[in-house]
Amino acid sequence: MTVNEAQQLVDQWIKKHGVRYFHELSNLAMLTEEVGELARVINRHYGDQSFKEGDPNEVEDELADVLFVVLALANQTGVDLTGALEKNLEKKSQRDPQRHQNNPKLK
């Protein structure tokens, strides 16, 4: 599935099951919530904290929740994420192409 196809799939799902898009600010708040849930699961898998009884512990599901909201926000703000990602990678490549290769912390 391409990013564009994912954007279309989210759009179709929202129109069929979600009635309509939430307000952009509501979706931004939802994105923040979902990133927090992802952080909790990552921290419990790879950090010092342990899971509590009944805690969700699927990194995959939490990442998908974050992606869903990002795709929804892109749709409702008219952003083509494929083009945006391509431009962003080009910007990063041009801005400082040797930055990470020259970072002694990464060796």
**31 confidence band (pLDDT: 50, 70, 90):** very high
Tokens read off for 104: 């002694």
* Cα–Cα–Cα angle for 60, 63, 66, rounded to 5 degrees: 155
Q: What mean pLDDT is predicted for residues 22-34?
A: 98
- Taking domain 3-80, whether its CATH number is 1.10.287.1080 is answered by yes
pLDDT of residue 52: 83
Lowest mean pLDDT among 12-21, 36-45, 62-71, 97-106: 97-106
Res 99 pLDDT > 90 = no
Res 56 pLDDT > 80 = no
Q: Where are the domains of the chain?
A: 3-80
Lowest mean pLDDT among 22-31, 83-92, 98-107: 98-107
How far is C-alpha 80 from the chain's CA centre?
Answer: 15
**38 confidence band (pLDDT: 50, 70, 90):** very high
